[in-house]
Amino acid sequence: MTTPVQQTMGSGIQSTKLRIVSMMGSHYVGKVVLALDAAGVNYDRAFISGLYPPAELKKRNKDYKTVPVLEVGRGKEMVPVMGSDNILKWVDDNIPTAAFKFYPPYDASPDSKYAEVKSAESFLDRLGLWIIYYHWSDEGFDRTLGRFMCRNGACCCCCCIKSLPPAKYGRTRFKTALKSALPEVFDVSGNYDGAAAKKAFFDDLQKVEVMFKTEGQLHLCDTPQPNAADFMLVACLNSFLGTLGDAGVPAAFPTCLRESGCVRTWNYYERMSKQYPLKFRLSCIGMCCR
């Protein structure tokens, strides 16, 4: 059976309107925005509120669970593509004018370049867990997301923002998620253990560092053009080291690469963040366009 996407392609995919449903400050959105901008793909943006994303997403579409979502087309013919990996794969398959492919040609061999990129991309998902920890844990919230929410009109001070629904939702939800995903960040009483978390985080950063086999390696997996794993890593490093581009989110751990001795990763980030700046706000129609 022909899918709506295939029907759209048959009538000329280049004229089909694309829109990214996103949330200011999400590193997964950052990955997609970086990739599409770098490849010269035209699209609009629709921002949902960053204060309570589940409710805002449901208002837009009852089937949406998280960001980013690529909306292909408009109205009743619109087809959503959910998840950053799926979005980049969809662009590879459907936008021939993109400047480069985000994934090497599919090859089932475990030693293929495709498998190498997918493996790197999968590992880098773990960095997202550390972003969650350093933004939402007791040691990080007041310094990062608490300040960000206050600046954006959620509250007047970080101490009382913790009692508001967005903060309570995030801190409770993510602490529960981290207990299964990153058990090493908790002590035997179930409380956050900052020292153990820092050691485990630095161990993971060292695993990223060894992905750069030489000083002159330009991209992860040594591909000639940046790939999906590169855009995931740059988005994550933006979250740890910078302000997530123009989103203005305070850095989760600005000294992490220096403290962990990841010189090649730092040099890579310096170059890539200048070559591919992260612009959440560029070309957006409005903060809640429909």
pLDDT at 167 (0 to 100):
56
pLDDT at 171 (0 to 100):
67
Q: For the chain, how big is the Rg over CA atoms in Å?
A: 19
Give backbone dihedrals phi and psi of 16, rounded to 5 degrees, phi first: -75, 135
Signed CA dihedral, 91, 95, 99, 103: sign only: positive
User: Cα(239)–Cα(93) distance, rounded to whole angstroms?
Assistant: 29
User: Cα(259)–Cα(256) distance, rounded to whole angstroms?
Assistant: 5
pLDDT at 281 (0 to 100):
74
Q: pTM, whole model, 2 decimals?
A: 0.84
pLDDT at 163 (0 to 100):
46
Residues composing the chain: 290
- The span from the first CA to the last CA of the chain, in angstroms, equals 30
pLDDT at 146 (0 to 100):
52
pLDDT at 162 (0 to 100):
47
Using the structure block, give the residue that is written with the tokens 């089937």.
63
Let me know if 123 is exposed, middle or buried by CB neighbors in 10 A (0-12, 13-18, 19+): middle
Decide if 192 contacts 137 (C-beta within 8 A): yes
Structure-token pair, residue 129? 């867990």
pLDDT at 41 (0 to 100):
96
Calculate the alpha carbon distances from 148 to 138, 155, 242, 244, 247 in Å. 15, 10, 13, 12, 10
Q: How far is CA 275 from the centre of its chain?
A: 18
In tens digits, what is the pLDDT along the chain, a chain of 290 residues? Answer: 333 343 344 444 555 799 999 887 789 999 999 999 999 999 998 887 654 556 677 778 888 888 899 999 988 889 999 999 999 999 999 999 999 999 999 999 999 999 999 999 999 999 999 998 888 776 666 665 555 554 554 444 444 444 444 455 566 777 888 899 999 999 999 999 999 999 999 999 999 999 999 999 999 999 999 999 999 999 999 999 988 888 788 889 999 999 999 999 999 999 999 999 999 875 443 333 33
